[in-house]
Amino acid sequence: MKKGTVINSDLSRVISQMGHFDRLSIGDAGMPVPMGTEKIDLAVQNGIPSFMQVLNNVLAELEVQRIYLAEEIKTENPAMLKQIQKRLPETPITFIPHREMKQDLAKCRAFVRTGEMTPYANIQLESGVTF
């Protein structure tokens, strides 16, 4: 049995296959995922699992050099923005329009759907290297 923090087999596989500059997206239950982008659906019910629970789990195994957030999170979900900034205080953030974030999902290795039901609780994690 795997002895790590990410035990979901699909999520573990995607993380292990990521290279430098690859992106993985985690988001709320309502984010539309384009055809062709793998969707790892972890949502069970409203709030389970939460966006932050999944983000924390992924960050235990993925080296992240930059994050992408929707510009709209600043006004529509500032509490979530604060949580993300607290969890990733040294990681550069690029803010982009939400419509662009949805389009950029086509460039991601996968989208991880959570049970989060707050607006703009979506992130793209750009993989770094550990050397």
Which of these is catalytic: 9, 16, 20, 75?
20
CB 64 within 8 A of CB 117: no
Residue 98 annotated as lining a ligand binding site: yes
Q: How far apart are the first and last CA of the chain?
A: 27
Residue 120 annotated as lining a ligand binding site: yes
Give the Cα separation of 121 and 131 in Å (integer): 30
Give the Cα separation of 71 and 74 in Å (integer): 6
Residue 121 annotated as lining a ligand binding site: yes
| Phi, psi (degrees; rounded to nearest 5) at 124 | -115, 125
25 has catalytic annotation: no
Q: Between 51-59 and 78-87, two packed helices, what is the crossing angle to 10 degrees? A: 20
Would you state the torsion angle of the CA atoms of residues 70, 75, 80, 82, taken in this order, to the nearest 10 degrees?
100
Binding-site residues sit at: 28, 98, 120-122
Q: Which residues are catalytic?
A: 20
